[in-house]
Amino acid sequence: MPNDVMHQRILVVEDDADIAESLEYNLQRAGFLPVVAESGEKGLHLALDKRNRPKLIILDLMLPGMSGMELCRRIRREPTAAETPIIMLTAKSAEADRIAGLNIGADDYIVKPFSVKELIARVNAVLRRSEKDTSRVYCDKKLAVDLDAFRVECGGTPVKLTRKEFSLLEHLINNIGRVATRQQLIDSIWGYTYMGDSRTLDVHIRRLRQKLGDCGSAVETVIGTGYKFVGCK
């Protein structure tokens, strides 16, 4: 049994007792430490447990009370759990459902019925990706951002940003595909005690887009709410 698997805590949020029992048994056989939650509310509590934070969450979408989609959103809004890998497990096989799950922050998506061996392989693959992703680099066809070196390039051309502009871009990239409200951005960049005009945020976003040039479209406006990072398409 690989040493890197031992003692890794896996949270299984599944209300079907038979499936939950099967997952628990097979994860234990694979060397993990599974813990089961039968509802979204209990799953959220365990996902945010600072003392026993799971390394990965297997999340069923069709849950009583809080849905799996809502639970995923709640987890991704919490700084202490936002980076925890999530594999969605559901009977919904439509492409729109898979895309919706991935867009709100899931790392992988498995449709029921599923092979236990495949699920374990997916768990290992997602864990390997999360552990290797330490360089904090974003890159797509046009835009490249090194968050640790404070470097930005659009189409290979360096982009010079102020500290505030870079901090805004970093916050948005760290929450890629998710809407950052205006207040969240203000609190994150200017601090909770900031009492200035909220239009300052809009000015900085406008300047950020202008400096990014052809990559400016990577930052989208969500009318009435805030902004989100979608990358260069």
Please check the confidence at residue 102 and state whether its pLDDT lies above 80: no
| pLDDT band, residue 153 (cuts 50/70/90) | very high
Provide the CATH number for the domain formed by 137-229 in this structure.
1.10.10.10
Please check the confidence at residue 132 and state whether its pLDDT lies above 90: no
Please check the confidence at residue 93 and state whether its pLDDT lies above 80: no
| pLDDT band, residue 13 (cuts 50/70/90) | very high
Q: What is the DSSP string of the chain?
A: --TTTTT-EEEEE---HHHHHHHHHHHHHTT-EEEEESSHHHHHHHHT-STT--SEEEEESS-SSS-HHHHHHHHHH-TTTTTS-EEEEES---HHHHHHHHHTT-SEEEESS--HHHHHHHHHHHHHHHHH--S-EEE-SSEEEETTTTEEEETTEE----HHHHHHHHHHHHTTTSPEEHHHHHHHHT-TT--S-THHHHHHHHHHHHHHGGGGGGEEEETTTEEEE----
Fold of 9-132: Rossmann fold (3.40.50)
Asked whether 114 and 87 are in contact (CB, 8 A), the reply is: no
Instruction: State if pTM tops 0.85.
Output: no
HSE, CB side, 13 Å, CA atoms: give it for residue 144: 9
Asked whether 147 and 173 are in contact (CB, 8 A), the reply is: yes
Domain ranges for the chain: 9-132, 137-229
